[in-house]
Structure 1
């Protein structure tokens, strides 16, 4: 790999953890500097578990840091040799953005500005950053292509992610290579407890109701974590000045089938509570991968059946502490 010293923001988050672990497992000459504020948006135990695994690697350095704090960011990182930033840290969650909008502006807007400005001031060659399929909003054209207009977000979270893409373009004008990745419903082991698949699994095992929105009439382009990591690594290794790519599975899954699979792998039926569509939710996501296949050579391999089987097996093996989250 061309880059030797990689800063990963949100290193104790779901995708940040898996990327850091992959880089450390596969590249002995790569050092990962990870920053995370270990906030309590969801139970910090999971972030601590992820981070403890990473701390077993000699080439991993962790700094507890909130990147929305400009002075703290500079003070902690100014003397580090960093030649690539993978910016995965963010305030996640569509629904929570309806309750606490300030957290999204602080982390996703100010925080991302700080990361991009740090790259400019300290002559970092390239930034790969996380965007989201939520930027497509309620677009009717299916599947979602990077060429589509994305001017109608239906949540503040989506608006901040679209703003990040526009902000990235202005920093590309300074000569920094900027690559944005629109993730489509990423799932897998060590995933986020606020995501539906995690909550469904936990509540089914506990014998609690699961909340099924829009009465189950929804579809999601679920993307397994290892496929997403492959896409990120390709975006790191290939040379682009400014691009945005979809990273999805391009196979939308009906919500009720998704629940049936979890029931099958847990060998337990769910108690379902059917509810109307929530504010901020979209009915369907579906990634057009034409551009990603051409330029990133991105080809997702893990089916929803295989991915959920792996997740459920992992959950069952770790149920003692996962059920407490």
Structure 2
């Protein structure tokens, strides 16, 4: 296949691109290398992908007029996986304009490009944060999501709605995907696991929100990528050409569009995650308890009924395996106990 991956220098984009390239597919990687976190890590991810002859890199920003249209017209992908976005719940309180530009304007630019040059399937990354306040556990795709508690979540909900409208109006087959706390090697420096690892290794205290009682549905990167790859062939049918596959299905009655969770469905307390990390590092952490920040939720847990109905059982890597794998990668990359500045 010819696949366009936006955000290919990002954590998930790099892992997905590497998997596709290793299986013989051609990947065009589109990334703007924003400085939200260490650009050097993003460059290293793209350098890793450059070792595959079938990888072509496009350095451009989503919101730049014509950049996505030109890329789609030139490379003519069959599948598009839209992972590029301005991420981060807390940063959205500081710089909401970045979320409007990248998430809303950028996604609109992509949808217009696909309107002009149709593809077989668009897979659109969203977030478990979209479930918002008052969501009941487990989070089901059929639940009404109208109460986002962060601006980040609000922009991702907007991209889901925008994609549905293009699926209805212009027949762009779309699967929107809500990810649940993805972690693993090559992970994001702004995420808790990366932050905690760095601080514990240099003897700094770590800030533990909600006293460690908050729960997250941690999803190992390889498990998420497996789900993405299998979903590529599960193109939502047009109205009248196929019906829902069960009560959990979110297939739109007016468009080739559905919404799917990708998570393990087995939340872990933050305190337990830190215990496992301490064991993998061979060091104890000084924990500073803090209240939950604005925009965060106390717990996330994915319903996996629809995902399993679509693709069958996917691997569920426990944190007792996934966290040590991350620690091994971290120590190999940074070599010392002190992470380089940047």
1:48 aligned residue (43, 52, 55): 43
1:152 aligned residue (130, 139, 147): 147
CA shift, 1:140, in A, is 4.0
Whole-Å separation in 2 of the counterparts to 1:123 and 1:244: 20
SS in 2 for 1:85: strand
What 5-or-longer segments of structure 2 have no aligned partner?
A: 237-255
Whole-Å separation in 2 of the counterparts to 1:224 and 1:192: 13
> Root-mean-square deviation (CA), in Å?
1.3
Does residue 183 (structure 1) correspond to residue 179 (structure 2)? The answer is: yes
Whole-Å separation in 1 of the counterparts to 2:180 and 2:172: 26
1:209 aligned residue (186, 205, 209): 205
> Residues 202 and 323 of structure 1 are in contact (CA less than 8 Å); yes or no, is this contact kept in structure 2?
yes
Does residue 19 (structure 1) correspond to residue 34 (structure 2)? The answer is: no
Partner of 2:166: 171
SS in 2 for 1:128: strand
Does residue 244 (structure 1) correspond to residue 244 (structure 2)? The answer is: no
- Cα deviation digits, residues 162-182 of structure 1 (max 9, x gap): 111111111111111100110
SS in 1 for 2:75: coil
Whole-Å separation in 2 of the counterparts to 1:319 and 1:245: 36
1:74-89 alignment runs, 5 A limit: 74-89=69-84
> Residues 119 and 125 of structure 1 are in contact (CA less than 8 Å); yes or no, is this contact kept in structure 2?
no
Whole-Å separation in 2 of the counterparts to 1:167 and 1:239: 18
> Residues 94 and 281 of structure 1 are in contact (CA less than 8 Å); yes or no, is this contact kept in structure 2?
yes
Whole-Å separation in 1 of the counterparts to 2:171 and 2:321: 42
SS in 2 for 1:237: coil
> Residues 221 and 249 of structure 1 are in contact (CA less than 8 Å); yes or no, is this contact kept in structure 2?
yes
> Residues 80 and 122 of structure 2 are in contact (CA less than 8 Å); yes or no, is this contact kept in structure 1?
yes
> Residues 126 and 177 of structure 1 are in contact (CA less than 8 Å); yes or no, is this contact kept in structure 2?
yes
Partner of 1:294: 309
Whole-Å separation in 2 of the counterparts to 1:94 and 1:315: 24
Q: Cα gap change, 1:86/1:140 in structure 2, threshold over 3 Å: closer, same or farther?
A: closer
Whole-Å separation in 2 of the counterparts to 1:170 and 1:23: 29
Whole-Å separation in 2 of the counterparts to 1:140 and 1:179: 22
> Residues 84 and 125 of structure 1 are in contact (CA less than 8 Å); yes or no, is this contact kept in structure 2?
yes
- Cα deviation digits, residues 15-41 of structure 1 (max 9, x gap): 000000000011x2x210011001110
> Residues 231 and 298 of structure 1 are in contact (CA less than 8 Å); yes or no, is this contact kept in structure 2?
no
Whole-Å separation in 2 of the counterparts to 1:85 and 1:176: 11
The structure 1 segments of at least 4 consecutive aligned residues displaced by more than 6 Å after TM superposition are none
1:84-103 alignment runs, 5 A limit: 84-103=79-98
**TM-score normalized by the length of structure 2:** 0.91
Whole-Å separation in 2 of the counterparts to 1:284 and 1:191: 21
What 5-or-longer segments of structure 1 have no aligned partner?
A: none
**TM-score normalized by the length of structure 1:** 0.96
Does residue 267 (structure 1) correspond to residue 282 (structure 2)? The answer is: yes
Partner of 1:127: 122
> Residues 153 and 159 of structure 1 are in contact (CA less than 8 Å); yes or no, is this contact kept in structure 2?
yes
- Cα deviation digits, residues 143-193 of structure 1 (max 9, x gap): 000011110000010011111111111111111110011000000000000
